[in-house]
């Protein structure tokens, strides 16, 4: 049977026998020592999607600050005067102070609020107050610390390894060509929220790799949109592994009708989003 089979009884472990079918050990998901190895050998070495797209910083000087907590890093992503998107460690090279304090904004230069050291949008140190009091200061040795940055289909990626072992294209592998050209930038979210879950990252990831929980945990919400009579337990119609990634298809119920509350929410979502955006901009303006 092909990998692309739509059978709801397909056992994907038979397609990938190297995965095995024994119970998954618990230790890698609870061991602090194991996690520290993952932090060092995975998250500080691979390309990470920073959770923003190019449309969010459309103009020169527009910036976003992304806290990569798993790597204890604060990253400043900014569009330069040349239109290029760059990323830097959000740390002044003089005294280690945090440079950008807001999550987003626009600026003409990157200036430290502690001693006024100033960098241009390309990260080059351009101004040092009372510079003649510094002995043998070489500006070019104190530029912002760059972070490897690349863009795929509008998604911004970084790599915290000073010398990444592979390009973003090599890292994405089949995804690079397989999903290229999809209009990712056209749809707009009508609602979003963020939450922190105290769990190992693999626990969270695994939860999104199976539909087994949907009929129970999401019985009154999402399950209506993915479950059908022919597939009540949301078996995946397609699954593919290509190291270090995997890709799956989630079933859908084309015949489901929204509830009255859901229909109202869908109708009002766009206007509510505009209102929320306007209020956020007003609040940002009042607080500088």
3-state helix, strand, coil in the chain (%, to 5): 30, 20, 50
Q: Are 213 and 207 in contact (CB under 8 A)?
A: yes
Residue 123 sits in the same domain as residue 230: no
Return the SS3 of 191.
coil
CB of 158 closer than 8 Å to CB of 47: yes
CA-nearest of 27, 140, 149, 6 to 88 is 149
- Summarised one tens digit per residue, pLDDT across range 185-235 is 887 665 667 788 888 999 988 888 888 888 888 888 888 888 888 888 888
In a domain, 233, yes or no: yes
Give the mean pLDDT of 44-58: 95
Highest mean pLDDT among 15-19, 147-151, 269-273: 147-151
Same domain, 211 and 144: no
- What's the pLDDT band for 288 if we cut at 50, 70, 90? very low
Q: Say yes or no: 59 and 156 in one domain.
A: yes
Q: Is residue 264 part of a domain?
A: no
Are residues 58 and 168 both part of a single domain? yes
40: left (phi over 0), alpha (psi -120 to 50) or beta: alpha
Task: Give the CA angle between residues 175, 76, 203 to the nearest 5°.
Answer: 50
Domain count, the chain: 2
Which range marks the domain in which residue 69 is found?
Answer: 48-178
Q: Is 193 part of a structural domain of the chain?
A: no
Q: Give domain status of residue 217, yes or no.
A: yes
> Domain check: are 119 and 169 in the same one?
yes
Does the residue 137 lie in any domain?
A: yes
Q: What angle do CA 195, 201, 203 make, to 5 degrees?
A: 95
Strands (E), the chain: 48-53, 62-68, 73-79, 85-89, 104-106, 110-111, 118-119, 125-127, 146-152, 155-159, 238-242, 245-249
DSSP 3-state of 16: coil
In a domain, 274, yes or no: no
**Nearest to 145, CA basis, from 123, 161, 164:** 123
Helix (H, G, I), strand (E, B) or coil at 255: coil
d(CA 197, CA 204): 8
Judge if pTM exceeds 0.75: yes
pLDDT for the residue 282: 53
Identify the domain boundary among 110, 143, 178: 178
In a domain, 72, yes or no: yes
Name the residue among 121, 187, 195 with its Cα closest to residue 154.
Answer: 187
Of residues 105, 112, 106, 110, the one with CA closest to residue 123: 110
In a domain, 56, yes or no: yes
Q: Which of 125, 123, 121, 75 is nearest to 98 (CA)?
A: 75
Lowest mean pLDDT segment, chosen from 36-40, 109-113, 271-275: 271-275
* CA angle 280–285–288, rounded 5-degree value: 120
């Amino acid at each position: 049977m092909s990998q692309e089979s739509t059978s709801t009884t397909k056992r994907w472990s038979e397609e990938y026998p190297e995965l095995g079918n024994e119970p998954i050990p618990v230790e890698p998901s609870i061991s602090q020592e194991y996690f520290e190895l993952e932090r060092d050998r995975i998250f500080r070495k691979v390309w990470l999607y920073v959770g923003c797209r190019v449309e969010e910083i459309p103009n020169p000087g527009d910036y976003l600050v992304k806290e990569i907590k798993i790597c204890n890093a604060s990253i400043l992503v900014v569009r330069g005067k040349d239109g290029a998107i760059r990323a830097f460690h959000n740390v002044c090279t003089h005294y280690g102070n945090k440079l950008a304090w807001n999550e987003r904004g626009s600026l003409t230069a990157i200036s430290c609020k502690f001693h006024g050291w100033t960098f241009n949008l390309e990260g080059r140190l351009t101004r040092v107050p009372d510079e003649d009091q510094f002995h043998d200061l070489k500006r070019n040795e104190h530029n912002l610390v760059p972070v490897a940055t690349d863009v795929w289909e509008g998604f911004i990626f970084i790599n915290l390894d000073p010398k990444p072992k592979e390009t973003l294209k090599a890292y994405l592998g089949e995804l690079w060509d397989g999903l290229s050209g999809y209009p990712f930038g056209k749809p707009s979210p009508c609602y979003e929220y963020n939450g922190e879950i105290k769990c190992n990252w693999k626990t969270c990831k695994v939860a999104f790799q199976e539909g087994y929980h949907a009929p129970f945990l999401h019985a009154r919400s999402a399950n209506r949109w993915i479950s059908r009579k022919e597939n009540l337990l949301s078996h995946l119609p397609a699954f593919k592994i290509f190291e270090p990634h995997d890709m799956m298809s989630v079933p859908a119920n084309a015949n489901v009708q929204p509830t009255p509350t859901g229909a109202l929410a869908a109708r009002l979502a766009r206007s509510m989003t505009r209102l929320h955006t306007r209020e956020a901009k007003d609040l940002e303006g009042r607080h500088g």
